[in-house]
Amino acid sequence: MNFATLLRRYGTLIGFALILAFFWINLPETFMTARNWLNITQQLSMLMVVACGMTIVMVMGDFDLSVGSAASLAGIVAGVLFAMGYPVWAAVGTALVVGLLGGAFNGILVSFIGILPFVATLATLTMYSGAAFVLSGGKTISGAAIPEPFSSFARGGIPLGEIGGVALALPNLTIVALLTVLASWVLLEQTTFGRRLYAIGGNVEAAYLSGVAVRRLKLIAFSLTGLSAAGAGIMYASRVASANPTQGSGLMLNAIAAVFLGMTMSEHGVPRVLATVIGVLILGVLDNGLTQMSVDSYVRQILVGAIIVLAVAASSIMKRMRR
């Protein structure tokens, strides 16, 4: 295996290892601790859920710009219902349905009406964001309106014992993210549905001529992405014990970045769930390490943008190298 092949196959993992080494050297007392890594997984849980949903649509060669707004809207829907006295199961269930329907609406616009995904989801991004502001009156829903069982869910977890006298637990949000990863992996890698989505992404015309129900599958895929966005919005609301109409604003950019980072690891430059997980971890480790080093948040935003450019460029270069 020559150097070019090694770099093409494992360049992203090598880069991830270098990032880990950099922060381990500069933050020897805090970065590689079990407590910090459990904290990282909890912080990344919402992004992990959204990125899995984004992977599903990007497998087909599409994408969804509305996931951040959909997450905010789901959180607001749950918060409003909490304030009206609805039980947790009803509020959360309704918020998930709203996300599912929002994703289905995107799917209808793209697959049945024929609007380009960029245009369709850019429009719904604005619609869902506006709906979140209208429902909340532009205010944060917090305090007594948020029931204790809902907010305590994000604080809970499965005890893992003690290390160095510090009690550790696997956060509930991390468990939800892991289950989402598992379900997404099974769906895309182990089912006929997933194989057909990859066929659509490879050549939509050939898939259609082969009898694949392209429109229906796209509708389902966008619906699942909307559901994942709603799930992330609910998780975020539980974590901060409040619902804000802008709380999901950063999810879309980071989710796309994570999928593109994962695509650089794929043999054929296509999205894979487990590769997306690595992409999410890279972004999370960068954010955690830079935060501990007191790097300004705006600088971190610049780095995320640079990572997206590098990931897309690397993916494009690898595709040309394979030809």
Task: Give the per-residue pLDDT at 12.
Answer: 77
- How large a percentage of the chain has pLDDT more than 90? 67
Over the stretch 135-193, which tens digit does the pLDDT of each residue have?
999 899 998 889 999 999 999 998 887 776 677 889 999 999 999 999 999 999 999 99
Task: State the Cα torsion 191-192-193-194 to the nearest 10°.
Answer: 60
Over the stretch 25-79, which tens digit does the pLDDT of each residue have?
999 888 998 889 999 999 999 999 999 999 999 999 998 999 999 999 999 999 9
Task: Give the per-residue pLDDT at 244.
Answer: 93
More confident residue, 202 or 161: 202
pLDDT band at 114 (very low <50, low <70, confident <90, very high): very high
pLDDT band at 320 (very low <50, low <70, confident <90, very high): low
Dist CA 251 CA 99 (whole Å): 15
pLDDT band at 115 (very low <50, low <70, confident <90, very high): very high
Dist CA 193 CA 66 (whole Å): 23
Dist CA 303 CA 106 (whole Å): 30
Over the stretch 291-315, which tens digit does the pLDDT of each residue have?
998 888 888 788 777 877 776 676 6
Task: Give the per-residue pLDDT at 257.
Answer: 87
Strand 242-243, strand 141-142: pairing: antiparallel
The pLDDT of residue 9 is above 70: no
